Chains A and B, each alone.
Chain A
Amino acid sequence: MPKDHKRINGPEETVPYNLFTKLNTKTLLTKFEEAVCNGKRTDLRVPEEHRKIFLKSGIVSQAKGSAYIELGKTKVIVSVFDPREIPNRTDYSLKGEIYCEFKFAPFSCVKRRQHQQDTEEKQYSAIMKQALESTVCRHEFPNFQVDIYALVLHNDGSVLSAAITAAGVALSHAGVPMYDAITSVTLGIQDGIRLLDPNCEEQTLCEIPISSKQESSHGVIIVSMLDTHEQISQFYQYGCISVEDLSASVDVLKQACKNIVPVVQKCLVKHVLRTLNEDVED
């Protein structure tokens, strides 16, 4: 773990206290049964129901474009900055570059996060970049780079999806040419039950096998889609899932991505109306 010498770091080698509380003695199976009780999840959603989304553009005044998204308790801010020349590059690149930086705020998770990017954050940055590269018309700004910063204020599951959806909005808010609106959804699978848009606890429960049966699948899938042409711009999965379960999940995810599109569109229309009104007032 690299250490940041410019800051005062918290004490090293600390362990979150909740590992030692009585709550932690429950087996995974009972935890999972509590999470999905009688076909209802803890927040009274049915398994394949997405959380309510709050999406707002233009909240960081210094950035060219920005967006704020809430999925239940999950809160993410994404800001996009003006294209600038690609730094440290000698040759000319015909297509523009996208630079993504995904960061958890130190207080966003149960465990304190370091200020420097760790491997998980780096991986999420790479996935975000992968998702957005095929969305942005990169040939429109050759030899330039667009910087995108995502900051997670509160991690309650599906953070990467939230960040990608918000990044799409922030990019359009910044006026970066794009092919289509991008939406992203996370899905957790455990023992044949598909949990759409899992919260933090559900996501952890989906990462480990609970039932002893060999055939049952478990895992997490994150998909980003461009709606108009039904294109998957990014697909990432981990866990252990059979092909049949995976293909069934893709259909669910496809529909879920489609359902978010109106939210994104509405947010963008609001932004346009707001700018028009400002122009009239001037």
Chain B
Amino acid sequence: MSLCEAEKTFVLHGVEENFRVDGREREDYRPMELETDIVSHAFGSARLRLANTDVLVAVKIEVDAPFPERPYEGKLDFFVDCSANATPDFEGRGGEELAVQISNALSSAYRSPNVFDLRKLCILKGKKCWKLYVDILLLECGGNLFDAVSLAVKAALWNTQVPLVKQVDIDGNNINLDVSDSLSDCQRMDVEKAPIMVTVCKIGERCVVDPNAAEEKCSVGSVVVAVAGRKISTVLQTGTGSLHPVTLLECLTLGVKIAQRLDTALWDTLRQIKPNQDVGFLK
């Protein structure tokens, strides 16, 4: 998407007047739709549609050996795939840079044990652990990818069912896992504090949240704040501009406020989701 100067001015003035192009105020989000359990091959999945940003997240679980330096912890791996369906620019390896940026942001946001405890994924110290592959597929990009991805990831992890290990048999170097077959024996993960990212976008002199694609083009820089509980787990800056420390702190405070609001909304939605709803792209 490319905008001419006049269009940019229009967006800028809208932000200044607290009446954005689509009628929102500066701190408003666009409508969101959330569905869980839509990929049957996966242990947990979620699809989030934020206006015309569409993200599909699936969690797959494999048995792996823990890192030797952290024998008590399982593994968590984020993989982002920018589908060419979103924009022709992502064809081939075109989306890789964005994909790496998002997955790096996610892994640093989930890095602290206070945020997401990997110790629960350990099966046998130093030998066996669960490895969670969180695969994110970007199907459509309508701005504000970080927020959409983090919400979808949290919902997918909430939805994930880790198989229950009934018994571990150790015979010399061989380790046999006896995994329970019953679906009802699965464990849910604790995602109470899983981070939610909020992109605070600086347009002109003001900060807005949930920028759409056009607004992102008008901004010189934005701050992505990942909030876990009441704390900040990751801050990173995107875009090419620089910020004054005062503006940065304003962005952080705004980010935390918005993230808490989003978190409450997410939990409300997750509680309302009933199992076995007919969901998917056909709706």
Contacts and interface: CB of A to CB of B under 8 A. Distances in A.
B253 interface: yes
Contacts of A207: 111-112
Interface in A1-44: 15-16, 19
B31 interface: no
B260 to A, nearest CB: 11
29 contacts: A16-B68, A119-B104, A126-B101, A133-B240, A207-B112, A209-B112, A209-B113, A214-B114, A218-B112, A221-B235, A230-B245, A231-B244, A232-B242, A232-B244, A232-B245, A233-B237, A235-B235, A237-B232, A237-B234, A238-B234, A239-B111, A239-B112, A240-B114, A241-B233, A243-B252, A246-B232, A247-B249, A247-B252, A250-B249
A122 interface: yes
Contacts of A219: 112, 233
B256 interface: yes
B243 interface: yes
Query: Interface majority SS on B: helix, strand, loop or mixed?
Result: mixed
A207 B108 CA distance: 11
A114 interface: no
Which 6 residue pairs of A and B lie closest in terms of their CB atoms, listed nearest first? A231-B242, A233-B242, A238-B108, A134-B242, A237-B235, A15-B68
Contact of A236 (B69, B107, B236, B249): B236
Contact of A134 (B113, B240, B249): B240
Contact of B248 (A135, A214, A239, A250): A250
Interface in B9-43: none
A226 interface: yes
A217 interface: yes
A238 B252 contact: no
Interface in B228-283: 228, 230-238, 240-245, 248-249, 252-253, 256
A234 interface: yes
A208 interface: yes
Nearest to B248: A232
A192 to B, nearest CB: 14
Interface string A113-157: 000000100110011001001110010000000000000000000
A135 B242 CA distance: 8
A221 B237 CA distance: 12
| Best-surrounded residue of A207, A226, A247, A254 (most CB of chain B within 10 A) | A247
Interface of B: 68-69, 100-101, 104, 107-109, 111-115, 221, 223, 228, 230-238, 240-245, 248-249, 252-253, 256
Nearest to B232: A241
A217 B237 contact: no
A236 B237 contact: yes
Given A135-B242, A230-B245, A243-B231, 5 more contacts: A207-B112, A234-B237, A235-B223, A243-B232, A254-B245
A242 interface: yes
B230 A242 contact: yes
A207 B114 CA distance: 11
Contacts of B252: 243, 246-247
B233 A230 contact: no
Contacts of A254: 245
A246 B256 CA distance: 12
Contacts of B235: 221, 235-237, 246
A136 to B, nearest CB: 10
A11 to B, nearest CB: 14
B112 A134 contact: no
Contacts of B248: 232, 235, 250
B67 to A, nearest CB: 9
Contacts of B231: 217, 240-243
A119 B256 CA distance: 28
A237 B227 CA distance: 12
A208 B73 CA distance: 13
Contacts of A237: 232, 234-236
A23 B224 CA distance: 39
Contacts of A233: 237, 242
B116 to A, nearest CB: 10
| Best-surrounded residue of B69, B230, B241, B256 (most CB of chain A within 10 A) | B69
A134 to B, nearest CB: 4
Given A208-B112, A209-B112, A247-B249, A238 B237 contact: no
Given A119-B104, A126-B101, A247-B249, A134 B241 contact: yes
Contacts of B228: 240
B24 to A, nearest CB: 25
A114 to B, nearest CB: 15
B236 A235 contact: yes
Contacts of A15: 68
